Structure 1
Amino acid sequence: MSSEAKAEQKRDPNNPCLFCTDPRGVSLQNELAYSARDTYAVSPGHTLVIPRRHVASFFELTPEEIEACMALITEERRLLDEELNPDGYNIGVNIGQAAGQSIFHVHIHLIPRYKGDVENPQGGVRHVIPKKGHYTR
């Protein structure tokens, strides 16, 4: 691994904020938010929707920012449907370190799902807590 790659790997994404200072691969944008493919995608087409204003929690967003983010989620889904034809989607936000947030600038995950990408998808986002996803067992 090159020294540049090692430095990038060690970079703290919160100092300065990665989403404020280095937006990469912006696919769509509006006045209050932008979207880009996730650098560490969990599936083909995994996309982040990011408000421009730096706030850590989804609950700090204004109604206008939420509306702007939802507009991008809707448009990204349309584009992903055309490009990749996924079988479903998960939409999620990690809020706080206990929930797995590692970049403390709100970002909404739009994750395309494909038949067979996991053995049993029942429970969907409930799988963030190990052994809690399959609630009918």
Structure 2
Amino acid sequence: MTCPFCTNQSSLLESETFFVMFDRYPVSEGHLLLIPKAHRTDYFALSIEEKDSLSRLLEEAKLLLDDLYQPSGYNIGFNCGAAAGQTIFHCHCHLIPRYDGDVPQPRGGVRGVIPAHKEYPFND
């Protein structure tokens, strides 16, 4: 199967090693993907230099979304491996803008990937 990220590297932003595009199936307005130009299977296959580049580009992407959409918060995430939900085996970082009221109970954030563990076992 042809890798969709290797064949389509059109970008909103880019660095020497990464490019940024809107997610084709966004979970919120402005959902971005940060993708290495070189085919890497997942986050753990990136070099230290690529991780540094990703970190800098993530900051630029956040500023772009702040300007375009003014979100109230962000989720940042990777799916690494089929058991974690990865379906395209070319590394990509999700930068998901969050908006006040977009879900009834946002508490727990990324813990929601396993719904039974989204809520903390204590009240504060």
TM-score, length of structure 1 as denominator length: 0.86
1:110-121 alignment runs, 5 A limit: 110-121=95-106
Cross-structure match for 2:6: 20
RMSD across aligned positions (CA): 1.0
4+ long deviations beyond 2 Å: none
Q: Deviations over 1:57-78 (max 9, x none)?
A: 2111001111111111100100
Match of 1:60 among 23, 26, 45: 45
Q: Deviations over 1:79-105 (max 9, x none)?
A: 111111000000000000000000000
**CA contact under 8 A between 2:9 and 2:37: conserved in structure 1?**
no
2:78 paired with 1:93:
yes
87-96 or 58-67, which moves further after superposition? 58-67
Distance of 2:31 and 2:106 partners within structure 1 = 17
Distance of 1:37 and 1:71 partners within structure 2 = 18
Match of 1:45 among 21, 30, 36: 30
Aligned pair count reads: 122
Distance of 2:82 and 2:88 partners within structure 1 = 9
**CA contact under 8 A between 2:14 and 2:20: conserved in structure 1?**
yes
Match of 2:108 among 123, 131, 136: 123
Q: CA deviation at 1:23?
A: 2.6
Cross-structure match for 1:6: none
User: Could you tell me the percent identity over the aligned residues?
Assistant: 48
Q: Deviations over 1:27-60 (max 9, x none)?
A: 0011101000000000000000001111112111
Q: Which runs of 5+ in 2 are unaligned?
A: none
Distance of 2:95 and 2:42 partners within structure 1 = 17
TM-score, length of structure 2 as denominator length: 0.94
Q: Which runs of 5+ in 1 are unaligned?
A: 1-14
